[in-house]
Structure formats: C-alpha cells, structure tokens
Amino acid sequence: MATKRYDTLIIGSGISGMAAGIILAKEGEQVLIVEQHSVPGGLTQVFQRNGLYFPTGVHRLGALKPGQPLWYYFNYLGLTDRLSLVPLSGSGFENYYFPNYCFQVPAGHQAYRQKLIIHFPSQSEAVNRYFEDMSAFVSTIELYNPGVIGKPLPSHVFTQSIDDYFNAIGIHGKLKSILYANNPLIGLSSRECPVMTHFMITDAYLNSSFRINEGQTPFAGALTQSFAAKGGHLLTGSRVVQIDLQDRTVQGVKLSTGKVLKAGRIIYSGHPSMLPGLCPPKSFRPVYVKRLQTPVNTPGLFGVALRWKKKHCPVADNDAYIFDDWDINAHYEKHEHGSHKMIFLSALPDQSPDQPEYKDIAVTALTALSAADQNHLKASYTIPGKKAYKQAKAMLADRIMDRIEQTFPGACMHAKIADTYSPVTFARYTLTPEGSAYGIKKTAQNFLYSMLFDRTKYWIWRDTRGNFNQCQSLLKAVS
C-alpha cells in the first residue's frame, strides 16, 4: 500500500500550528499536524488536579466581543461557538498591588483614562497623549483590525522602548509604573519593550477581557475539534527528528520511531532555534543559522496551581499583580536569590457552579526566578528519582505563598497547593529552550534582528510543484 501523502504537514500543535492547520484544511488541503507530546495544544493545554482544571499558558483573552479584533479570527477559525467565555470585572479586571497601594484598572479606554487623570491630575496632558497615540497606532494595523486599511505611522515612534516613550511625553513616577504594570503579559522590561507591543496588548484587554471556562470547553479541545471538523488529521506522541529534502525539494519528515511521513509542504511552528537541527546540513546559509540559534529568549516562569476557597478568593473575577516595590523592571533586572519581585495571580471561572460541593476555584500564581533558583532547579532535575527536584519546587512554592499571604492575609488558610511547574516543565513539554515563557525577545533595541522573516534569500527551497518557495515555516515565539 502506498504511503499517504499530505499537501501540508505541520510540526507542532500549539496555537500557531493549529491555526495554520485549520486555515489550510478549510481551504481544502489534506493537512497533518504532528505533535511530540501525548496531548495536543501546546500552551493552550490544561491539566487536572483534585478535580479542577488549571491552564498552562492561556489565562485570559482580550478583544473578543463581537466586532473586536480577536473575535474576527476566532469566528474564522470556528472557535467562537465552541468556547464558553466569562468576562472579568468591568470595574477592575486587573488589580496592581504596590507597597501600601492598590490600583484597579477598569474596562474601556475612556474609563481607564478618566481614572488615571483623577489619580494623577498633574500628568493629565501626558495621559491624554498616551491614549490618543495608542488609538492612532492600533487603527493602522490591518491584521489587528481586519477589513481596515490604515495609514502607516512613523515606525520609529512605535519601535522605541515604552520607557523612552513615557519619558518623551512626560509620564513619570508612579503613573509610569501603573501604565506598565501589565508587563508580565509581555515578558520584557519597560526598557526593552517596543511601544507597539505594549499598545496592542493593552488595547486588546481594555476592549474586553475574558477567561475560558476550561472545565466546560477547553481551548485546546476547541482548536482540535475545529481542525478535525474541517478534515484535518492529528498525530500525537510523535516527535519529528528530520525534515527530508531531496535536491532541495521537501519530501516529508522522519519521526523518532523511524517512520517517514510524506508531504509537499512543511510548516514548522516550534522554537526557531531548533529548526536547523531538523534539516540536512547546508540547508541554510551560516549567517541565517546564527540568527536562528543565537537570539535571547524571554525568561521562564515558575507556576503554582492553587485550590482557593471561592468565597475567600481575591482574584475570582480579576487578575492581580503583586509588586515588591514601584520599580516594575526589578521583576526582570534585579532578581536576587530567594526573592520574587512580582507575582501574577489569575483564576479560572467556577468550573461547577451548580454543584455546591465544589467550593474551590483554580488559581495560578506565576513568577520569574533568580538565576540561582533556576540553576538549582535544573541541577536537581538531573538527580535520579526527582526527589531533590520536588523538594526544590516545594520550597519555592512555600516562599511564593508566604509572599501572597503578605498581600492577602488568610491566603495560606484558604488556598492549598495542588501542583507546581517550572521552566524545566515548559522545556520538557514544549521543547522551548530554557522553558522560555514568550520565546525570543523582540526588543526595541534589536527590533529587526529578532524579526525572522519567512521569505529570505538565505533559505529558498523548491517545492514539489516546481515553484520556488520557502519552507512555509511559521517561526513563532512560543507564548
């Protein structure tokens, strides 16, 4: 029997691989997605502990009301009707906890603007400029606003760092910290983050913020169902170890088992640095290989899965950011052994609202680690039996709970640790170097260097239909 040949084979079933698969299957192609893990979805997956589902990477979604940017994409991908979305609090969907100070971010540009002006009247002109620039910028992005053709704005304004931008328009002090307190959603310090990145993320969540009821409609499941409904094929527990090329023509891939899968096109959706290792020698020019393998990655995160009594949970309908001080960049730049400069808390909706016996909700606490803590975790993981690794994670989790208790007295009484995970966990399940939470750093200082374009003279291959084509890769920073 002849081996089945697919039009397109996609390596990786994360959000980008799944989205590509759904699009191509919808267009009538025979598509196969190959996933090395036993469960599809990448960081859209959830895991279950003590009867509760906990997310791995998707804690909140923005801009999903009808007519808003992400809504168009979810509709096209067939996800809207498959997901149960629960809105966060309109009066404060994000709460920032600084020493002796809490700021609640209301939904909507105008409400947020007015609140900031009330709290910082001396910087009202700068606040107005900030919101005007954000609205002007997002209106020019065609992929962010489908069907809207905007006028390009000066790129240098929006590729500079958000810190330089704040200084230029007169935003300073505590106001600066509040405006960039959502930096855990970006993975960059304010001195590194491009203005455009901050604007897109902030605008999306101000438009609307939702959590997915993962107990009812898992995100990874919705992606898988939509892909299958359009005729797509999925193969899990199968790691690709080689992309097969003959005369610079894509033939398919080889799995770790030795099995060969045939395809006329390959889409790679893993971390860019791993792509050269899958291809035959000299598939790329050395300078391009260097670009793929030497970028700086965003830091990994340590996570604690908590079972929190719902009636005592401070993040049941909002996310919380706990900062040790007003220096928001300390989370990235001044990490000392044993310290957690920022802790992010997010919950999933009540997974069994009609069953009173379920009194706990799933809460995730995330934080960055010091280099010493990360090295200790990696070293302990290599010790047979994993006892030392489990002890190291338990120590970190207890330390995080002590810090949460300082902000929310009684937390240690009402919240119990269900599980923990580390950058080592992310590296193992997603094959992301060092367990990076957001993949490659796309900084203001090296904005173009970190842009790994799919069309380049460095790696043009001829596909089986005789056309010159790139490998059709989706080089993505895992997020």
CA-CA-CA-CA torsion sign (122, 125, 129, 135): positive
The model's confidence at residue 333, banded by pLDDT at 50, 70 and 90, is: confident
Residues 215 and 348 sit within 8 Å (Cβ to Cβ): yes
For residues 251 and 265, what is the distance between their CA atoms, to the nearest angstrom? 8
The conformation of residue 474, written as its DSSP 8-state character, comes to -
240: β partners: 255
Kindly state the tokens that stand for 14: 């994360």
Q: In the beta sheet, which residues pair with residue 9?
A: 32, 266
Higher pLDDT, 283 or 151: 283
| Domain 5-49+216-295+438-469 in CATH 3.50.50.60 | yes
Nearest CA to 62 out of 208, 244, 271, 224 is that of 208
User: Over the stretch 178-216, which tens digit does the pLDDT of each residue have?
Assistant: 999 998 888 899 999 999 999 999 999 999 999 999 988
Shortest CA distance to 44 belongs to which of 317, 226, 280, 207? 226
Stated pTM of the model? 0.89
Q: Where in the chain is the domain with CATH 3.50.50.60?
A: 5-49+216-295+438-469
Query: 98 Cβ partners below 8 Å, 6+ apart?
Result: 174, 177, 323, 325, 326
pLDDT computed for residue 244 by the predictor:
93
Nearest CA to 13 out of 311, 250, 213, 235 is that of 235
Largest CA distance in the chain: 77
Region 134-156 average pLDDT: 74
The answer to which of 223-227, 427-431, 449-453 has the lowest mean pLDDT is 449-453
Tokens, residue 66: 């009808």
Q: Would you say residue 17 has pLDDT above 70?
A: yes
- pLDDT at residue number 185: 82
Token pair for 221: 């499941």
Helix, strand, coil % in the chain, rounded to nearest 5: 35, 20, 40
Residue 466, Cβ neighbours under 10 Å: how many? 8
- Per-residue model confidence as pLDDT tens digits over 48-86: 998 899 999 999 999 999 989 899 999 999 999 999 999
CA distance 319 to 263: 44
SS3 37: coil
pLDDT > 80? residue 455: no
**Which pLDDT score is estimated for 472?**
35
Element (H, E) at 32: strand 31-34
Provide the token pair at 248. 């610079």
